[in-house]
Structure 1
Protein backbone atom coordinates (compact mmCIF):
# COMPACT_ATOMS: atom_id res chain seq x y z
CA UNK A 1 0.00 0.00 0.00
CA UNK A 2 1.41 3.41 -1.00
CA UNK A 3 1.83 5.93 1.81
CA UNK A 4 -0.55 8.85 0.98
CA UNK A 5 1.76 11.30 2.75
CA UNK A 6 4.52 10.71 0.19
CA UNK A 7 4.89 12.24 -3.25
CA UNK A 8 2.32 10.86 -5.68
CA UNK A 9 2.79 11.52 -9.40
CA UNK A 10 -0.66 11.30 -11.02
CA UNK A 11 -0.48 8.79 -13.91
CA UNK A 12 -1.74 9.97 -17.29
CA UNK A 13 -2.15 8.21 -20.62
CA UNK A 14 0.97 8.39 -22.79
CA UNK A 15 3.54 8.76 -20.01
CA UNK A 16 6.54 6.46 -19.90
CA UNK A 17 7.20 4.24 -16.87
CA UNK A 18 9.58 1.44 -15.99
CA UNK A 19 8.04 -2.04 -15.97
CA UNK A 20 9.46 -4.93 -13.92
CA UNK A 21 8.06 -8.32 -15.05
CA UNK A 22 7.70 -11.30 -12.78
CA UNK A 23 10.75 -13.48 -13.51
CA UNK A 24 8.81 -16.61 -12.54
CA UNK A 25 6.43 -16.33 -15.50
CA UNK A 26 7.32 -16.69 -19.16
CA UNK A 27 5.59 -15.83 -22.41
CA UNK A 28 6.26 -16.97 -25.92
CA UNK A 29 7.75 -14.17 -27.99
CA UNK A 30 8.47 -11.99 -24.94
CA UNK A 31 12.18 -11.27 -24.55
CA UNK A 32 12.83 -10.60 -20.87
CA UNK A 33 15.28 -7.94 -19.72
CA UNK A 34 18.64 -8.52 -18.11
CA UNK A 35 18.31 -9.63 -14.50
CA UNK A 36 16.93 -6.80 -12.37
CA UNK A 37 16.68 -4.33 -15.28
CA UNK A 38 13.39 -2.59 -16.13
CA UNK A 39 11.57 -2.45 -19.44
CA UNK A 40 10.15 0.67 -21.06
CA UNK A 41 6.36 0.94 -21.00
CA UNK A 42 3.71 3.46 -21.98
CA UNK A 43 0.56 4.01 -19.93
CA UNK A 44 -2.42 3.05 -22.10
CA UNK A 45 -5.21 3.35 -19.52
CA UNK A 46 -5.47 4.71 -15.97
CA UNK A 47 -7.65 2.86 -13.47
CA UNK A 48 -6.44 4.80 -10.42
CA UNK A 49 -3.37 6.50 -9.02
CA UNK A 50 -1.87 3.06 -8.39
CA UNK A 51 -3.32 0.86 -11.17
CA UNK A 52 -2.74 1.19 -14.93
CA UNK A 53 -2.78 -0.71 -18.23
CA UNK A 54 0.47 -0.68 -20.16
CA UNK A 55 2.04 -1.26 -23.52
CA UNK A 56 5.31 -2.87 -22.51
CA UNK A 57 8.28 -3.11 -24.86
CA UNK A 58 10.36 -6.21 -24.28
CA UNK A 59 14.16 -6.34 -24.54
CA UNK A 60 13.88 -6.65 -28.34
CA UNK A 61 11.51 -3.67 -28.60
CA UNK A 62 8.40 -5.71 -29.33
CA UNK A 63 5.19 -4.31 -27.77
CA UNK A 64 3.07 -6.36 -25.38
CA UNK A 65 -0.14 -5.61 -23.50
CA UNK A 66 -0.23 -5.68 -19.71
CA UNK A 67 -3.44 -4.93 -17.82
CA UNK A 68 -4.08 -3.95 -14.20
CA UNK A 69 -0.43 -3.34 -13.39
CA UNK A 70 0.31 -1.83 -9.98
CA UNK A 71 2.04 1.57 -10.20
CA UNK A 72 4.40 1.75 -7.23
CA UNK A 73 5.28 5.29 -6.14
CA UNK A 74 7.78 4.24 -3.47
CA UNK A 75 9.81 1.11 -4.21
CA UNK A 76 10.88 0.85 -0.56
CA UNK A 77 7.34 -0.31 0.19
CA UNK A 78 7.55 -3.35 -2.13
CA UNK A 79 6.97 -6.75 -0.64
CA UNK A 80 9.10 -9.78 -1.52
CA UNK A 81 6.51 -11.60 -3.63
CA UNK A 82 8.19 -10.54 -6.91
CA UNK A 83 4.89 -9.62 -8.49
CA UNK A 84 5.08 -7.53 -11.72
CA UNK A 85 4.82 -3.76 -11.19
CA UNK A 86 5.76 -0.47 -12.78
CA UNK A 87 7.27 2.66 -11.34
CA UNK A 88 8.37 6.14 -12.34
CA UNK A 89 11.88 6.76 -13.63
CA UNK A 90 14.36 8.54 -11.29
CA UNK A 91 14.25 11.72 -13.41
CA UNK A 92 10.47 11.87 -13.14
CA UNK A 93 10.65 11.40 -9.38
CA UNK A 94 13.26 14.16 -9.09
CA UNK A 95 11.16 16.59 -11.11
CA UNK A 96 8.07 15.78 -9.05
CA UNK A 97 10.00 16.39 -5.82
CA UNK A 98 11.23 19.76 -7.12
CA UNK A 99 7.70 20.76 -8.13
CA UNK A 100 6.32 19.73 -4.74
CA UNK A 101 9.03 21.71 -2.94
CA UNK A 102 8.28 24.78 -5.10
CA UNK A 103 4.57 24.48 -4.30
CA UNK A 104 5.34 24.30 -0.57
CA UNK A 105 7.48 27.43 -0.83
CA UNK A 106 4.75 29.23 -2.76
CA UNK A 107 2.20 28.25 -0.11
CA UNK A 108 4.42 29.54 2.70
CA UNK A 109 3.99 33.20 1.79
CA UNK A 110 3.06 35.84 4.33
CA UNK A 111 2.46 39.57 4.39
CA UNK A 112 3.79 41.74 7.22
CA UNK A 113 3.30 45.45 7.96
CA UNK A 114 6.24 47.03 9.79
CA UNK A 115 6.30 49.99 12.17
CA UNK A 116 7.56 52.28 9.41
CA UNK A 117 4.52 51.48 7.27
CA UNK A 118 6.45 49.17 4.94
CA UNK A 119 4.35 46.23 3.73
CA UNK A 120 6.30 43.19 2.60
CA UNK A 121 5.01 39.98 1.03
CA UNK A 122 7.43 37.07 0.84
CA UNK A 123 8.37 33.57 1.87
CA UNK A 124 7.61 32.84 5.51
CA UNK A 125 9.06 33.65 7.93
CA UNK A 126 9.72 37.28 7.08
CA UNK A 127 12.41 39.07 9.12
CA UNK A 128 11.42 40.83 12.34
CA UNK A 129 13.07 44.06 11.20
CA UNK A 130 11.77 46.25 8.42
CA UNK A 131 13.80 46.38 5.21
CA UNK A 132 14.02 50.12 5.84
CA UNK A 133 15.64 50.02 9.28
CA UNK A 134 18.62 52.24 10.07
CA UNK A 135 20.96 53.37 12.85
CA UNK A 136 20.37 55.94 15.60
CA UNK A 137 22.49 58.47 13.70
CA UNK A 138 20.12 58.33 10.75
CA UNK A 139 17.18 58.54 13.17
CA UNK A 140 18.58 61.77 14.62
CA UNK A 141 18.94 63.30 11.17
CA UNK A 142 15.33 62.44 10.39
CA UNK A 143 14.16 63.94 13.69
CA UNK A 144 15.99 67.18 12.86
CA UNK A 145 14.22 67.22 9.50
CA UNK A 146 10.84 67.02 11.21
CA UNK A 147 10.09 63.30 10.90
CA UNK A 148 9.03 60.83 13.57
CA UNK A 149 11.02 57.69 14.31
CA UNK A 150 10.54 54.52 16.33
CA UNK A 151 12.28 51.25 17.10
CA UNK A 152 11.01 47.86 15.94
CA UNK A 153 12.49 46.34 19.11
CA UNK A 154 10.51 48.48 21.57
CA UNK A 155 8.11 46.44 23.67
CA UNK A 156 5.42 49.11 23.66
CA UNK A 157 3.90 49.19 20.20
CA UNK A 158 2.80 52.48 18.70
CA UNK A 159 5.42 54.62 20.46
CA UNK A 160 7.52 57.12 18.56
CA UNK A 161 10.00 59.94 19.07
CA UNK A 162 9.57 63.57 18.09
CA UNK A 163 11.90 66.54 18.25
CA UNK A 164 10.43 69.41 20.23
CA UNK A 165 11.58 72.95 19.46
CA UNK A 166 11.21 75.48 22.31
CA UNK A 167 8.28 77.88 21.96
CA UNK A 168 6.87 80.74 24.00
CA UNK A 169 5.31 78.36 26.55
CA UNK A 170 8.26 76.01 26.85
CA UNK A 171 10.45 75.78 29.92
CA UNK A 172 13.25 74.45 27.73
CA UNK A 173 15.63 76.71 25.86
CA UNK A 174 17.06 74.10 23.48
CA UNK A 175 15.45 71.41 21.28
CA UNK A 176 14.81 68.06 22.96
CA UNK A 177 13.41 64.64 22.14
CA UNK A 178 10.20 63.35 23.65
CA UNK A 179 8.42 60.02 23.53
CA UNK A 180 4.80 59.75 22.42
CA UNK A 181 2.54 56.88 23.28
CA UNK A 182 -0.91 57.45 21.71
CA UNK A 183 -2.71 54.93 23.94
CA UNK A 184 -1.88 56.92 27.09
CA UNK A 185 -4.26 59.75 27.95
CA UNK A 186 -2.27 62.41 29.83
CA UNK A 187 -5.42 63.61 31.59
CA UNK A 188 -6.31 60.17 33.03
CA UNK A 189 -2.85 58.63 33.43
CA UNK A 190 -0.84 60.50 36.07
CA UNK A 191 2.94 60.33 36.20
CA UNK A 192 6.03 62.40 35.59
CA UNK A 193 6.99 63.10 31.96
CA UNK A 194 10.38 64.41 31.00
CA UNK A 195 12.33 64.66 27.74
CA UNK A 196 13.33 61.25 26.38
CA UNK A 197 16.85 60.02 27.16
CA UNK A 198 18.50 57.47 24.86
CA UNK A 199 19.90 54.33 26.46
CA UNK A 200 23.03 52.54 25.30
CA UNK A 201 20.79 49.96 23.62
CA UNK A 202 18.86 52.65 21.76
CA UNK A 203 22.00 54.38 20.53
CA UNK A 204 23.58 51.17 19.25
CA UNK A 205 20.41 49.67 17.78
CA UNK A 206 20.04 49.19 14.04
CA UNK A 207 16.26 48.74 14.02
CA UNK A 208 15.20 52.38 13.86
CA UNK A 209 12.40 53.12 11.41
CA UNK A 210 10.56 56.16 10.15
CA UNK A 211 6.88 56.31 11.07
CA UNK A 212 4.04 58.45 9.69
Structure 2
Protein backbone atom coordinates (compact mmCIF):
# COMPACT_ATOMS: atom_id res chain seq x y z
CA UNK A 1 0.00 0.00 0.00
CA UNK A 2 1.38 3.44 -0.97
CA UNK A 3 2.14 5.73 1.92
CA UNK A 4 -0.21 8.71 2.03
CA UNK A 5 1.60 12.02 1.83
CA UNK A 6 0.11 14.83 3.84
CA UNK A 7 -3.10 15.16 5.80
CA UNK A 8 -5.77 16.08 3.24
CA UNK A 9 -8.27 13.32 2.52
CA UNK A 10 -8.94 14.45 -1.02
CA UNK A 11 -7.96 12.40 -4.03
CA UNK A 12 -5.59 14.01 -6.51
CA UNK A 13 -7.72 12.37 -9.22
CA UNK A 14 -10.95 14.04 -8.20
CA UNK A 15 -12.94 15.44 -11.12
CA UNK A 16 -13.73 19.09 -11.79
CA UNK A 17 -17.36 19.82 -11.03
CA UNK A 18 -17.18 23.61 -10.62
CA UNK A 19 -15.92 26.03 -13.27
CA UNK A 20 -14.29 29.39 -12.66
CA UNK A 21 -17.44 31.39 -13.50
CA UNK A 22 -19.53 29.25 -11.19
CA UNK A 23 -16.93 29.63 -8.46
CA UNK A 24 -16.98 33.43 -8.74
CA UNK A 25 -20.78 33.39 -8.60
CA UNK A 26 -20.62 31.33 -5.40
CA UNK A 27 -18.15 33.78 -3.87
CA UNK A 28 -20.47 36.66 -4.71
CA UNK A 29 -23.30 35.01 -2.78
CA UNK A 30 -21.18 34.78 0.38
CA UNK A 31 -20.69 31.79 2.73
CA UNK A 32 -20.44 29.46 -0.28
CA UNK A 33 -19.80 25.73 -0.01
CA UNK A 34 -17.29 24.40 -2.53
CA UNK A 35 -16.98 20.64 -2.25
CA UNK A 36 -15.76 17.50 -4.02
CA UNK A 37 -14.09 19.23 -6.94
CA UNK A 38 -10.71 20.00 -8.47
CA UNK A 39 -9.31 23.10 -10.12
CA UNK A 40 -6.38 22.81 -12.52
CA UNK A 41 -4.70 25.99 -13.78
CA UNK A 42 -7.34 28.26 -12.23
CA UNK A 43 -6.39 31.96 -12.16
CA UNK A 44 -8.12 34.34 -9.76
CA UNK A 45 -7.28 38.01 -9.22
CA UNK A 46 -8.68 40.78 -7.02
CA UNK A 47 -11.61 38.79 -5.60
CA UNK A 48 -12.93 37.85 -2.17
CA UNK A 49 -13.93 34.29 -1.35
CA UNK A 50 -16.62 35.70 0.92
CA UNK A 51 -15.85 33.39 3.84
CA UNK A 52 -16.45 30.26 1.76
CA UNK A 53 -16.14 26.69 3.01
CA UNK A 54 -13.92 24.37 0.95
CA UNK A 55 -14.37 20.65 1.61
CA UNK A 56 -12.41 17.94 -0.27
CA UNK A 57 -11.02 20.27 -2.92
CA UNK A 58 -7.79 19.99 -4.92
CA UNK A 59 -6.09 23.04 -6.44
CA UNK A 60 -3.38 22.21 -9.00
CA UNK A 61 -1.09 24.78 -10.62
CA UNK A 62 -3.46 27.62 -9.73
CA UNK A 63 -2.54 31.31 -9.46
CA UNK A 64 -4.18 33.52 -6.85
CA UNK A 65 -3.36 37.23 -6.97
CA UNK A 66 -4.82 39.67 -4.45
CA UNK A 67 -7.39 37.06 -3.39
CA UNK A 68 -8.99 37.45 0.03
CA UNK A 69 -9.55 34.04 1.59
CA UNK A 70 -9.90 35.47 5.10
CA UNK A 71 -12.38 33.74 7.41
CA UNK A 72 -12.70 30.77 5.02
CA UNK A 73 -12.77 27.16 6.19
CA UNK A 74 -10.61 24.59 4.43
CA UNK A 75 -11.11 20.91 5.25
CA UNK A 76 -9.33 18.14 3.31
CA UNK A 77 -7.90 20.61 0.79
CA UNK A 78 -4.72 20.23 -1.28
CA UNK A 79 -2.80 23.08 -2.87
CA UNK A 80 -0.29 21.60 -5.31
CA UNK A 81 2.12 23.78 -7.28
CA UNK A 82 0.03 26.90 -6.64
CA UNK A 83 1.13 30.55 -6.49
CA UNK A 84 -0.21 33.08 -4.00
CA UNK A 85 0.56 36.73 -4.70
CA UNK A 86 -0.53 39.37 -2.15
CA UNK A 87 -3.20 37.06 -0.72
CA UNK A 88 -4.70 36.73 2.74
CA UNK A 89 -5.82 33.68 4.72
CA UNK A 90 -6.28 35.56 7.97
CA UNK A 91 -8.67 34.07 10.54
CA UNK A 92 -9.07 30.91 8.41
CA UNK A 93 -9.53 27.44 9.78
CA UNK A 94 -7.28 24.99 7.94
CA UNK A 95 -8.16 21.43 8.89
CA UNK A 96 -6.25 18.58 7.22
CA UNK A 97 -4.73 20.75 4.49
CA UNK A 98 -1.59 20.36 2.38
CA UNK A 99 0.54 22.98 0.65
CA UNK A 100 2.93 21.11 -1.64
CA UNK A 101 5.47 22.84 -3.93
CA UNK A 102 3.65 26.16 -3.55
CA UNK A 103 4.97 29.71 -3.86
CA UNK A 104 3.36 31.94 -1.25
CA UNK A 105 5.81 34.61 -0.04
CA UNK A 106 4.19 36.92 2.50
CA UNK A 107 0.95 34.92 2.71
CA UNK A 108 -0.86 35.90 5.92
CA UNK A 109 -2.40 33.27 8.19
CA UNK A 110 -2.66 35.73 11.09
CA UNK A 111 -5.11 34.72 13.84
CA UNK A 112 -5.89 31.51 11.94
CA UNK A 113 -6.50 28.03 13.27
CA UNK A 114 -4.41 25.09 12.03
CA UNK A 115 -5.18 21.45 12.72
CA UNK A 116 -3.08 18.93 10.78
CA UNK A 117 -1.45 21.05 8.07
CA UNK A 118 1.49 20.14 5.82
CA UNK A 119 3.88 22.68 4.28
CA UNK A 120 6.20 20.79 1.94
CA UNK A 121 8.89 22.05 -0.43
CA UNK A 122 7.25 25.45 -0.58
CA UNK A 123 8.36 29.07 -0.68
CA UNK A 124 6.80 30.93 2.24
CA UNK A 125 9.33 33.60 3.03
CA UNK A 126 7.83 36.50 5.04
CA UNK A 127 4.67 34.46 5.77
CA UNK A 128 2.63 35.72 8.75
CA UNK A 129 1.44 33.24 11.39
CA UNK A 130 1.16 35.60 14.35
CA UNK A 131 -1.59 34.98 16.92
CA UNK A 132 -2.52 31.71 15.23
CA UNK A 133 -3.55 28.55 17.04
CA UNK A 134 -1.51 25.73 15.51
CA UNK A 135 -1.76 22.04 16.35
CA UNK A 136 0.00 19.32 14.35
CA UNK A 137 1.83 21.37 11.72
CA UNK A 138 4.40 19.54 9.59
CA UNK A 139 6.81 21.78 7.69
CA UNK A 140 9.35 20.06 5.45
CA UNK A 141 11.99 21.58 3.15
CA UNK A 142 10.12 24.88 3.17
CA UNK A 143 11.53 28.41 3.07
CA UNK A 144 10.14 30.23 6.10
CA UNK A 145 12.89 32.82 6.33
CA UNK A 146 11.85 36.07 8.02
CA UNK A 147 8.41 34.65 8.74
CA UNK A 148 6.42 35.97 11.72
CA UNK A 149 5.29 33.65 14.54
CA UNK A 150 4.48 36.13 17.29
CA UNK A 151 2.13 35.02 20.09
CA UNK A 152 1.44 31.66 18.43
CA UNK A 153 0.09 28.63 20.27
CA UNK A 154 2.29 25.96 18.67
CA UNK A 155 1.57 22.37 19.69
CA UNK A 156 2.64 18.93 18.40
CA UNK A 157 4.43 20.42 15.41
CA UNK A 158 7.59 19.52 13.52
CA UNK A 159 10.03 21.34 11.24
CA UNK A 160 12.35 19.35 8.99
CA UNK A 161 15.09 20.93 6.86
CA UNK A 162 13.33 24.31 6.83
CA UNK A 163 14.89 27.76 6.40
CA UNK A 164 13.94 29.73 9.52
CA UNK A 165 16.63 32.38 9.26
CA UNK A 166 15.55 35.60 11.01
CA UNK A 167 12.16 34.09 11.84
CA UNK A 168 10.40 36.10 14.55
CA UNK A 169 9.05 33.83 17.33
CA UNK A 170 8.59 36.53 19.96
CA UNK A 171 6.36 35.24 22.81
CA UNK A 172 5.90 31.83 21.12
CA UNK A 173 7.03 28.79 23.08
CA UNK A 174 9.14 26.28 21.12
CA UNK A 175 8.98 23.73 23.92
CA UNK A 176 9.46 20.24 22.49
CA UNK A 177 9.90 21.53 18.91
CA UNK A 178 12.78 19.85 17.04
CA UNK A 179 14.68 22.45 14.99
CA UNK A 180 17.88 20.43 14.68
CA UNK A 181 17.70 20.09 10.89
CA UNK A 182 16.68 23.71 10.24
CA UNK A 183 18.60 26.92 9.67
CA UNK A 184 17.73 29.16 12.62
CA UNK A 185 20.39 31.82 12.07
CA UNK A 186 19.31 35.17 13.45
CA UNK A 187 16.11 33.85 15.00
CA UNK A 188 14.30 36.65 16.85
CA UNK A 189 13.26 36.07 20.48
CA UNK A 190 12.61 38.16 23.58
CA UNK A 191 15.41 39.40 25.82
CA UNK A 192 14.63 36.61 28.31
CA UNK A 193 15.05 33.90 25.62
CA UNK A 194 12.08 32.07 27.12
CA UNK A 195 10.84 31.09 23.65
CA UNK A 196 13.81 28.72 23.29
CA UNK A 197 13.32 26.82 26.53
CA UNK A 198 12.85 23.14 25.85
CA UNK A 199 13.36 23.28 22.07
CA UNK A 200 15.64 20.70 20.43
CA UNK A 201 18.70 21.89 18.50
CA UNK A 202 21.93 20.44 17.12
CA UNK A 203 25.47 21.16 18.40
CA UNK A 204 26.22 23.87 15.82
CA UNK A 205 22.91 25.56 16.50
CA UNK A 206 23.66 25.50 20.21
CA UNK A 207 26.82 27.48 19.48
CA UNK A 208 24.76 30.04 17.52
CA UNK A 209 22.25 30.37 20.34
CA UNK A 210 25.05 30.74 22.86
CA UNK A 211 25.99 33.90 20.97
CA UNK A 212 22.50 35.27 21.64
CA UNK A 213 23.11 34.72 25.35
CA UNK A 214 26.47 36.46 25.18
CA UNK A 215 28.32 33.25 25.94
CA UNK A 216 31.79 32.84 24.43
CA UNK A 217 32.88 29.27 23.73
CA UNK A 218 36.56 28.65 24.15
CA UNK A 219 38.22 26.73 21.37
CA UNK A 220 40.55 23.92 22.37
What is the TM-score with the length of structure 1 in the denominator? 0.22
What is the TM-score with the length of structure 2 in the denominator? 0.21
Name whichever structure is richer in helix by fraction: 1
Q: Higher Cα Rg: structure 1 or 2?
A: 1
Flag the structure with more relative contact order, 1 or 2, with Cα contacts below 8 A and sequence separation at least 6.
1
